[in-house]
Amino acid sequence: MYHPHTIFMKTETILRQRLICVAVLDQSDDAVPLAESLLAGGMSTMEVTFRTAAAADSIARIRKNLPAVSVGAGTLLTAEQVQRAVDAGAQFGVSPGLNEAVLAAACKNRMPFFPGVMTPTEVGRALELGWKHLKFFPAEAAGGVAMLKALAGPLAHTGVKFVPTGGIRAANLPDYLALPQVAAIGGSWMAERKLIAEKAWAKITALTAEAMKIIARTKS
């Protein structure tokens, strides 16, 4: 049995802003300009996915140059990737599924982590292993808000919180934020791969600012 309970406080801090930008970086030279663009729009939490060779270096550059940004590593599929992410300075980790070897590596490194779940069985196993902050993925394809409401019924007493990711945009962001079992949202629409490739930093800042205004309205 793993015991990630001691890193829950860090996890709550990471999720406080209620929105995490999920970014795919093909070139590490784009990492700092992207993080600066998000920060200019009011967002200080981002996830760099390990889908490209530039991921680890991108994380290291952001940590070195922008201490105000909390940067994590996503799409972590192996324990080796978890270690590479930690070595690069990642402050949290995310996986698309529930891989117990990955969770063991995260726990060993005292890394706040959000394992991916989609079914009640996966949620149950994650809870059994001690993890209560879970990525719900792929959110829209898996039933979205309606599915999260259905899961909440039999699981609300467990204290489980979800970070839905996949198919969420500004238009449906308020629907997810309204759910008490949703701790935060993972989204890529404000910094899509194409926008990064085009170095459309002003556009990314504008989309980020729009999203942060939506979040501010849900808190008021």
**85-113 confidence digits (pLDDT tens):** 999 999 999 999 999 999 999 999 999 99
For range 160-185, the mean pLDDT: 97
148: which residues sit within 8 A by CB, 6+ positions away? 136, 139, 162, 164, 176, 179, 181, 182
Residue 44 per-residue DSSP state? -
Number of neighbours of residue 144 by Cβ within 10 angstroms = 19
Residues 108-141: pLDDT tens digits? 999 999 999 999 999 999 999 999 999 999 999 9
- Cis peptide bond prior to 180, omega within 30° of 0: no
The 185-187 sheet, strands edge to edge: 113-114, 93-94, 70-74, 45-49, 19-23, 185-187
Q: Are 54 and 217 in contact (CB under 8 A)?
A: no
pTM, two decimals, is 0.94
Residue 91 per-residue DSSP state? S
Residues 57-74: pLDDT tens digits? 999 999 999 999 999 999
Q: What CA–CA distance (Å, rounded) separates 124 from 12?
A: 21
Positions marked catalytic? 47, 135
| 28: amino acid identity, one letter | S
CATH architecture of the domain covering 4-219: Alpha-Beta Barrel (3.20)
Structural domain boundaries of the chain? 4-219
| 173: amino acid identity, one letter | L
